[in-house]
Amino acid sequence: MSSNSVRTPEDARATFQTCKSTDPKERVQFYDTWAETYEKDHTMMNYRAPNLAVKFLSDHFLGNPEEAQVLDVACGSGWVAKLMSELGFKHFVGVDGSKGMLDQAEKNGLYRDLKLAVLGPEPLPAQSGSFDVVIIVGALRHGFVPVSVIRELCNAAKPGGYVCMSRVDPKSESGEKYKASMERELQLMEEEGLWTQVDTRDMNKYILDVYNNYSKEEEEQQYLHGTVYLYKKSLQ
């Protein structure tokens, strides 16, 4: 996947469609090879999740962005950090399972630290209670980051800190099961007193549905939609 060639939307769609493995090692290898054209391909597929999630967080964040410590989980090429930096956030630690993606993120010069970890098989490499904001965009879905990691996200936040999570809405049975499992976990953690929900918002036109073809009359169906959640960690 050379970044020197001219990429087309058809190239981008084809790349998305080859990303099918749920094996962590194979998936990491795929993202390593995709890293150079990742943002370009996602832009061509109208991937709006980073912009939508960062705006959602910013609308609710009550702290001082310039002082906030941010943990960017599944940071990829650093897209979320770039958007947050435009809003005044300055202090970032990134975590991703792909070395190729972390190499791209390092070029941004925004991260004080970048950590390699495949979440699920490996623990989240973050000190408990250290971050004012923990954000994960796009990776909470079937075959990627398991629902069990959500407790680790909460654990990494400071008391009173924010945890912002986005999830693409499913068009498959496995996706529906993941959504149900995730929302059960969110509710259970709230019942346990670990955090409180700040807000939840539907994200229309999260990304083009790269796996199906639609006619011009089915424009609305061409998109996958999503949901973004924001929780505030309890002070105890």
pLDDT tens-digit profile of 54-97? 999 999 999 999 999 999 999 999 999 999 999 999 999 999 99
Domain residues for the domain of 184 are 48-233
**For the purposes of burial, counting CB atoms within 10 Å of the CB of 13, is it exposed (0-12), middle (13-18) or buried (19 or more)?**
middle
Residue 227 lies in a domain: yes
CATH code: domain of residue 96? 3.40.50.150
Q: How many CA atoms lie within 13 A of 171 on its CB side?
A: 12
Residue 29 falls inside a structural domain? no
Report the C-alpha gap between 212 and 5 in whole angstroms: 25
Give the pLDDT band of residue 215 (cuts 50, 70, 90).
Answer: low
Contacts of 172 (CB under 8 A, 6+ apart): 142
Tokens of 171: 């068009």
Give residue 100's Cα distance to chain centre.
Answer: 17
Distance of CA 135 to the CA centre of its chain: 7
Average pLDDT score, the chain? 90
| For residue 221, pLDDT beyond 70 | no
What's the distance, CA 205 to chain centroid? 16
Q: What average pLDDT does the segment 212-235 reach?
A: 80
**In Å, what is the CA distance from 25 to each residue of 39, 121, 141, 148, 195?**
22, 10, 17, 19, 33
Query: Does residue 26 lie in a domain region?
Result: no
Residue 206 placed within a domain: yes
Q: What is the pLDDT of residue 13?
A: 79
68-77 pLDDT per residue, tens? 999 999 999 9
How many separate domains does the chain show? 1
Mean pLDDT of 30-40: 89
For residues 214 and 206, the model is more confident at: 206
- Model confidence, pTM: 0.92
Q: Which residues contact 129 (CB under 8 A, 6 or more apart)?
A: 155, 156, 157, 158, 159
Asked if residue 183 belongs to a domain, the reply is: yes
Contact 115, 93 (CB under 8 A): yes
Within-domain flag for 106: yes
Residue 196 lies in a domain: yes
Give CA–CA dist 30/98, Å, rounded.
Answer: 9
Residue at 24 is within a domain = no
pLDDT confidence band for 1 (50 / 70 / 90): very low
pLDDT band for 171, please (50, 70, 90 cuts): confident
